[in-house]
Amino acid sequence: MWIFSSANHHSSLILLSRNMHTSVAASYHITARVLSPEDSSMKPAVWRRLRGSNNTSVQRKPVVSEGNLHRERSAQSKNMKKKTSLLEKMNQGRENNFRVSSELRKLCLDDFPADSERQVRQKSVLDSKAETHEVVFGIAPCLLALTQGRRKALKMFVKNGETSQRASVLKVCEEAHRQGVHISRVNKKDLDKMSSGGVHQGVCLQASPLSYLTEGPAANRCTSTPLWLVLERIQDPMNLGAILRSAYFLGVDRVISSLRHSCPLSPVVSKASSGVMEVMGVYGYENLEEMLKLKLTQGWQVVGTVGADIKEPQVPVTKCSDFQMTKPTLLLMGGEGEGLSQQLLSLCQTLLTIPAGRDLYPGIESLNVSVATGILLHSLLLTRSARCL
């Protein structure tokens, strides 16, 4: 009896299992058909709501008790709090670093140790009362303008941001502060306007202008064979600045310029000379012809410069590499385009030329005046017989 009942009960379980499997399969096919986008009877809105569901498989999630679910959520919450706390500490560290950097940057530029009245930030505008002042721009011109004492500095302007932290900029600011010059922090647009679009390198200085020097006593660095560079009608400030830089570097004893038809000693010239104009004075003459005649009577030689294609020269033409400077010399350089005037050419005892290294195309037979000046100065000064003391 017991065995029969058990077997009968087992058959009932098998039958029930088969019925459940059939029911599940039927349910799956019905669901798949309802979720299928190919069913034209389904409304678009209904399909959009059901589109996110998985139509190709049935996934059965494990049954989780309410207690286990609570413990799992509690553990996740603790992990999230730990991560949030760690992120907050990291962000706080970054904020502290940024705050320190900002304070250091401010101390490096505006808050130099000084009286409290100097710690007040100045207005980022030029002094309207200083009508006779001009704006020097660039690191080297501004620094040399401050250290040489030939100008009266009024106010310094420095660009905001990382530019103010460069060592070269800080050096200029320290010198300005040492001399009691007010420092203002401005933006790049203001500096561009002050320098008229010049390369200011983040620094501008409002100061009194420089002018040509008048005749006066000047100590020669060489005992018997000084070299003076005479410029006639150099009108391009970039050329004049480059000439001054070469003359200073190579050891010219004095630079002289005609006052008429020559560019002034402007901040553009100072920048082009890399600040040499702030160090080396330039003498100006209304009449170069009279000055040259006086030097001839004193035993100086006057040397002019011409192109290699000069026709029917009135004085000997010598290659610069063949010329020997044995006595005090004045080297004459003419302006862009026209060269030396006939009045000065008539006073020259010899003419120097720079030979070309190849056959030249018409129209490009000459050098830029600043380049030619550098070559000629180097050639002459190498042959100077008296050595500098």
For residue 153, the domain's CATH number is 3.30.1330.30
Based on the domain organization, do 369 and 241 belong to the same domain?
Answer: yes
What does DSSP say about strands 254-258 and 227-231: parallel, antiparallel, or unpaired?
parallel
148 in a domain, yes or no? yes
Task: Identify whether the C-beta of residue 155 lies closer than 8 Å to the C-beta of residue 122.
Answer: yes
Based on the domain organization, do 192 and 159 belong to the same domain?
Answer: yes
Mean pLDDT for back-to-back runs of 10 residues, the chain (389 residues): 44 44 42 42 46 45 53 63 55 44 42 39 52 92 97 95 83 95 94 94 96 73 81 97 98 96 96 98 96 96 85 83 93 91 95 91 86 96 65
Q: Which two tokens stand for residue 240?
A: 């004049």
322 in a domain, yes or no? yes
Based on the domain organization, do 201 and 250 belong to the same domain?
Answer: no
61 in a domain, yes or no? no
Based on the domain organization, do 236 and 369 belong to the same domain?
Answer: yes
Based on the domain organization, do 194 and 236 belong to the same domain?
Answer: no
Count of structural domains within the chain: 2
Q: How many CB atoms lie within 10 A of CB 124?
A: 16
93 in a domain, yes or no? no
Question: What average pLDDT does the chain have?
Answer: 76
Based on the domain organization, do 203 and 231 belong to the same domain?
Answer: no
Looking up residue 376, the CATH number of its domain turns out to be 3.40.1280.10
Based on the domain organization, do 129 and 244 belong to the same domain?
Answer: no
Based on the domain organization, do 178 and 248 belong to the same domain?
Answer: no
181 in a domain, yes or no? yes
Based on the domain organization, do 373 and 241 belong to the same domain?
Answer: yes
269 in a domain, yes or no? yes
Based on the domain organization, do 249 and 377 belong to the same domain?
Answer: yes
The partner residues of 204 in beta bridges, in order of sequence, read: 137, 157
Q: What confidence score (pLDDT) does residue 161 get?
A: 82
Q: What confidence score (pLDDT) does residue 184 get?
A: 94
Task: Identify whether the C-beta of residue 231 lies closer than 8 Å to the C-beta of residue 358.
Answer: no
Based on the domain organization, do 353 and 288 belong to the same domain?
Answer: yes
- Output the CA angle 227-231-234, nearest 5 degrees: 150
Q: Which two tokens stand for residue 284?
A: 């100006």
Based on the domain organization, do 375 and 231 belong to the same domain?
Answer: yes
Q: Give residue 163's region: left, alpha or beta (phi > 0; psi -120 to 50).
A: alpha
Q: What confidence score (pLDDT) does residue 165 get?
A: 77
332 in a domain, yes or no? yes
> Which of 207, 238, 253 lies at the terminal end of a domain, its last residue?
207
Tell me how far apart the alpha carbons of residues 331 and 299 are, in angstroms, rounded to a whole number: 14
> Which of 150, 173, 207 lies at the terminal end of a domain, its last residue?
207
103 in a domain, yes or no? no
Q: Which domain holds residue 136?
A: 119-207
